[in-house]
Structure 1
Amino acid sequence: MTGRDPALAEAAPAKVNLALHVRGRLADGYHALETLFAFTRFGDTLTAEPAADWGLRVEGEMAGLAGPEEENLVLRAARAFADATGTRRRFRFHLVKRVPVAAGLGGGSADAAAALRLLDRACGTGLGPAGLLPLAAMLGADVPACLLSVTARGEGRGERLTRAPSMTGMPILLVNPRVPVPTGPVFRAWDGIDRGPLGNDPLAGRNDLEAPAIALQPVIAEVLAWLRTLPGARLVRMSGSGATCFALGVTAARVPAGWWSVATELVEGPPPAGPAPPPAA
């Protein structure tokens, strides 16, 4: 990115739910959640250049799974930003897609959040995180957390955020059996039982969506069982609605053939959009 305007480049860190308690169903069809968000150095990268109209080019390992570009959350975020601020500036985005799709890592939400941060700088609107949060909430339940990209407790639909103790530098191994798990069917398969609140210790928490996700994709149970065999694993759990699982405290491992994986670390705040991270296995 030598010579590129830093205002036109933004990292989109992958999101991990260290714990996810589903407390009930809300009248609007969403679910009442208590979750602990954390963010990784691994993620997508978004860059932009001035253009006559909005545009998007997607490439990278996961580009083929990202769906039609005109429906991408990056463009939805850009149009929402323009409507809210009145800016007439337009950009063509370039998204390097590394985060698996429908994987519990918030890839689309992270991309939308990156677009909001990038546009706020590039257009000089000066909204900052506080001013961008209402826009983020309109785009999806995870987008506010992804906008901040810091360790935080989420409540409500996940949009009510409270800072949590930093876990910067903690190694984490992400593993996905390369099966997509759309969020809607997993939430619909939740049994409706409130198993209690989330405390301050993620190790004592749980992910209430693991059982319904495993019912839809039994291979998730195999991933979790394998991760639990790894030396140094402090916490093994599924992230979000799956199918990505993680082992906190593990720096690397020889992952079974056919599974996607990446060894990374937790960070606080979006890391600079610099050279591409090493490819996932």
Structure 2
Amino acid sequence: MTLASSSERVHVRAPGKINVFLEVGDVQDDGYHDVATAYQAVSLYEDLWASDADEITAHVSGSVAIGDVPVDDRNLAVRAARLLAGATGVDRGVHLEIRKSVPVAGGMGGGSADAAAALVACDALWGTGLSTAELARLAARLGADVPFALLGGTAVGTGRGDELSPALARGRFDWVLVVSDEGMSTPVVYGELDAHRARHLVDIGPAPRQPRVDPDVLHALRQGDPGMLAAALRNDLQAPALLLRPDLGAALETGEKAGALAGIVSGSGPTLAFLAADDAAALDLQITLSAAGFSALHVHGPVSGARVV
């Protein structure tokens, strides 16, 4: 990759994600959990522009609520730029203009998409010429979902979710998302999962020692069969998310009665993802949910990961 001119502005687009399957292991000594998840990148994107500057700075705008998004070193995109500069010996600044469309703290990895976009954009702007594998290693240092935002498509994630294996997915899957202006804290949801498991240990048994993705999920993805995938959707974080936000349960029921093949909490919530039979069914479902007062979006997957536009 050649060094970009000082006047160039690099535009990168990175997708949000849905966890179509998420099994969570027991809490570890460090407070984290091993997981086994099947990610699908969907057509709801974060856009990032990188341009030369004296320092590393960021500005955030978007079509979603952005009041809680920091622009200092707590911002994952800023951290990504600093990490890339430090790893490659670059002594240049960058201004990151971030336009958000993925709900903030919505369980769809919007911040991770920003970080992946920043890695790709700064690599292009600074001409550091890192390979995808090298960028992925840096991405893993920023958070569990960042490597997938870089890769895109459909993949199985293990460990903390950052150990990725691409998964074959044929055809197109149509989803309707119900989004919320009020985000949820991932650590709080995981904490509620631990408490929920402790309260119901006799009923649900111990957490899996080695989480794994259900083979039925992978088979459904390979077949490109929405009905088969709907029957295999699972998210261990759904029960604690519903305990923390009971209103999500009513929304799930509404979507399923309105014709969704199945509905699921995306990641740690509160975004809900409803799987539809096809494009036309998704459009009908979006119209019905919107008429019921929900903020509903029609997206599809799988789509590519972070790319220069």
Using the size of structure 1 for normalisation, the TM-score is 0.88
State the partner residue of 1:227: 255
Report the CA distance between 1:135 and its aligned residue.
1.1
Which is worse superposed, 104-113 or 128-137? 128-137
CA distances 1:40-96 after superposition (whole Å, capped 9, x unpaired): 111110011111111111111225334221121110110011111111232111111
Specify which of 266, 269, 279 is matched with residue 242 of structure 1.
269
Structure 1: distance between partners of 2:294 and 2:124? 38
Whether the aligned pair in 1 keeps the contact of 2:40 and 2:155 (CA below 8 Å) is yes
Structure 2: distance between partners of 1:54 and 1:197? 40
Unaligned runs of 5+ in 2: 1-6, 198-205, 218-228
Residue 200 (str. 1) matches residue 215 (str. 2)? yes
Inter-CA distance 234–126: structure 2 relative to 1 (3 Å threshold): farther
Specify which of 234, 251, 259 is matched with residue 294 of structure 2.
259
**SS of the residue 1:251 aligns to:** helix
Instruction: Give the letter for the 1:58 counterpart.
Output: V
More helix by share: 2
The within-5 A match list for 1:34-183 is 34-62=36-64, 64-70=66-72, 71-167=74-170, 169-183=172-186
Instruction: Give the letter for the 1:201 counterpart.
Output: D
Structure 2: distance between partners of 1:273 and 1:145? 16
Residue 218 (str. 1) matches residue 218 (str. 2)? no
**SS of the residue 2:49 aligns to:** strand
Instruction: Give the letter for the 2:258 counterpart.
Output: L
Structure 2: distance between partners of 1:160 and 1:90? 30
Structure 2: distance between partners of 1:16 and 1:76? 24
Which is worse superposed, 57-66 or 182-191? 57-66
Whether the aligned pair in 2 keeps the contact of 1:177 and 1:219 (CA below 8 Å) is no
Inter-CA distance 77–32: structure 2 relative to 1 (3 Å threshold): same
Report the CA distance between 1:269 and its aligned residue.
1.5
Report the CA distance between 1:271 and its aligned residue.
7.0
Structure 2: distance between partners of 1:272 and 1:110? 11
Structure 1: distance between partners of 2:105 and 2:212? 26
Which is worse superposed, 252-261 or 19-28? 252-261
Structure 2: distance between partners of 1:258 and 1:184? 29
Report the CA distance between 1:6 and its aligned residue.
8.6
- Number of matched pairs: 269
**SS of the residue 2:215 aligns to:** coil
Report the CA distance between 1:123 and its aligned residue.
1.9
**SS of the residue 2:66 aligns to:** helix
Instruction: Give the letter for the 1:74 counterpart.
Output: A
Report the CA distance between 1:246 and its aligned residue.
0.8
Unaligned runs of 5+ in 1: 275-281
Whether the aligned pair in 2 keeps the contact of 1:168 and 1:265 (CA below 8 Å) is no
State the partner residue of 2:27: 25
Structure 1: distance between partners of 2:58 and 2:180? 28
Report the CA distance between 1:39 and its aligned residue.
0.7
Whether the aligned pair in 1 keeps the contact of 2:16 and 2:43 (CA below 8 Å) is yes
Structure 1: distance between partners of 2:65 and 2:53? 22
Q: Rg: which structure is higher? A: 2
Report the CA distance between 1:205 and its aligned residue.
4.2
**SS of the residue 2:234 aligns to:** coil
Whether the aligned pair in 1 keeps the contact of 2:233 and 2:264 (CA below 8 Å) is no
CA distances 1:114-147 after superposition (whole Å, capped 9, x unpaired): 1111112222222122001221111111111111
Whether the aligned pair in 2 keeps the contact of 1:213 and 1:241 (CA below 8 Å) is yes
Instruction: Give the letter for the 1:77 counterpart.
Output: A
State the partner residue of 1:268: 303
